[in-house]
Amino acid sequence: MSGDSASVSNEAWETARRLLASALEMEPEEIADDAGMDQLQNWDSLAHMRLMMALETELGEPLSAEAILSIDGLKDIAAVVHATAAGACSRDLTP
């Protein structure tokens, strides 16, 4: 991810953690701030698609294919949620 995770709101982190936990069938408390695909055994291709569908539903707009492929950690999800809350359009939602 290219952005600074320190500038992402707490609400965005909480939303991202909730969405990821749901997609991975885990509890939010089990997801560390630095969690990524390579650290979470449950994060397979099917879980990734569940996450992307949940993220699009939460945001109310579709993600670009580039964004879908570039999201590989909790920080990326939080950055997308934060950018949407800040008024970014879907074509700019690449973490």
Condensed to tens digits (0 to 9), the pLDDT of residues 35-56 reads 999 999 999 999 999 999 999 9
The pLDDT score that the predictor gives to residue 76 is 96
Query: Do 50 and 23 meet the contact criterion of CB atoms below 8 Å apart?
Result: yes
pTM: 0.83
SS3 label, residue 36: strand
Q: Sign of torsion, CA 63 44 22 4?
A: negative
The neighbour count for residue 67, using CB atoms within 10 Å, is 21
CA 69 – CA 39 distance, rounded (Å): 17
Query: What's the rounded mean pLDDT across residues 54-80?
Result: 93
The pLDDT score that the predictor gives to residue 3 is 45
**Domains of the chain with bracketed CATH:** 5-92 (1.10.1200.10)
Q: How high does pLDDT run on average in the chain?
A: 87
Assigned token pair, 83? 């950018």
